[in-house]
């Protein structure tokens, strides 16, 4: 649960930054920003994997660039459900998703585990190593 909240905060920072940079992305209040970050996390967890699987052939043909469209559609879906978060079209949503992705990528160096990996150490006492 803590990991989800940390990612939601990072996504919220990315959404705020996108609203400052990308024309056509508007956030009306801090409550809308928090709700948009949480809703985007939920949509990315449940809806996005289904779309990625269904559009896999198109993604292969475009060498992965169609994933930008899918990410933009997830931003559009959040905008549809949340009235305080407005996105003016698919291009604005795609640019917003790029800003959110870059922000998450940069912030993962500070928030996540060192160097992006988790080490598991197993200690055995009193036994033989076979």
Q: Encode pLDDT of 35-87 as tens digits.
A: 999 999 999 999 999 999 999 999 999 999 999 999 999 999 999 999 999 99
Residue ranges of domains in the chain: 2-110
pLDDT number for residue 82 = 95
Average pLDDT for 82-104: 95
Is pTM, for the whole model, over 0.85?
Answer: no
**Range 57-73 burial, b when 16+ CB lie within 10 A, else e:** eebeeeeeebbbbbbbb
DSSP 83: T
Q: In the structure encoding, which two tokens stand for residue 110, read together? A: 């500070």
pLDDT number for residue 110 = 75
Q: How many residues does the chain have?
A: 130
């Amino acid at each position: 649960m803590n990991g989800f909240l940390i990612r939601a905060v990072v996504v919220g920072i990315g959404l705020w930054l996108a609203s400052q940079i990308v024309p056509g992305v508007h956030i009306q209040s801090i409550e809308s920003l928090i709700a948009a970050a949480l809703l985007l996390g939920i949509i990315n967890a449940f809806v996005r994997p289904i779309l990625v699987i269904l559009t896999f052939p198109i993604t292969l043909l475009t060498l992965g660039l169609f994933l930008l469209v899918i990410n933009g559609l997830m931003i559009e879906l959040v905008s549809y459900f949340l009235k305080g978060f407005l996105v003016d079209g698919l291009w604005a949503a795609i640019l917003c998703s790029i800003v959110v992705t870059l922000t998450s990528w940069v912030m993962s160096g500070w928030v996540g585990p060192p160097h992006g990996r988790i080490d598991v150490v197993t200690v055995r006492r009193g036994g033989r190593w076979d």
